[in-house]
């Protein structure tokens, strides 16, 4: 199956920002968030987009 424009994962440091619905990864610091995002980007073969300082999403294009 080919997914197009689909949010694969959400990485955030702010628990209030995201509800369930997709893979959500809570991180304690911005640094941790960036390293998790970099890893997930490579694993999921998606692009990490920054929505705000505390919220990244990984999207399959």
Partner 1 sequence: MTEFTLPIAFGIFTGTFSRLLMLRTDYRQYPTYLHGKIIHVALGFIASGLGAVFGPAIIQEEYTAITFLTVAASQFREVRNMERNTLTELDNYELVTRGKTYIEGIAIAFESRNYLVIFTSLVSTLAYLLFNIWIGIIVAIASMILSHYLMSGGKLKEIVDIEYVEPRFDGAGLYVDNIYIMNIGLPERQKEVLRYGMGFILKPKSFNARATIANLGQRQAILHDVSTALGVYRDSGTPALVPLAKRDLDDGRVGVFVLPQDRDIEKAIKVIGDVPTLENAIRMSTEKVGMKHES
Binding site for partner 1 (CB under 8 A): 34, 37-38, 41-42, 45-51, 56-57, 61
Q: Whose Cβ is closer to partner 1: residue 20's or residue 52's?
A: 52
**Residue 33 CB partners (closer than 8 Å, separation 6+):** 11, 12, 13, 27, 54, 56
Q: Whose Cβ is closer to partner 1: residue 27's or residue 57's?
A: 57
Closest distance of CB 20 from partner 1, Å? 21
Closest distance of CB 46 from partner 1, Å? 6
How far lies 11's CA from each of 23, 48, 51, 59, in Å? 8, 10, 10, 12
């Amino acid at each position: 199956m080919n997914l197009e424009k689909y949010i694969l994962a959400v990485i955030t440091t702010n628990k209030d920002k995201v509800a369930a619905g997709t893979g959500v990864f809570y991180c304690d610091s911005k640094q941790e968030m960036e390293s998790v995002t970099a890893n997930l980007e490579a694993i999921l073969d998606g692009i990490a987009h920054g929505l705000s300082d505390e919220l990244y999403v990984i999207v399959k294009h």
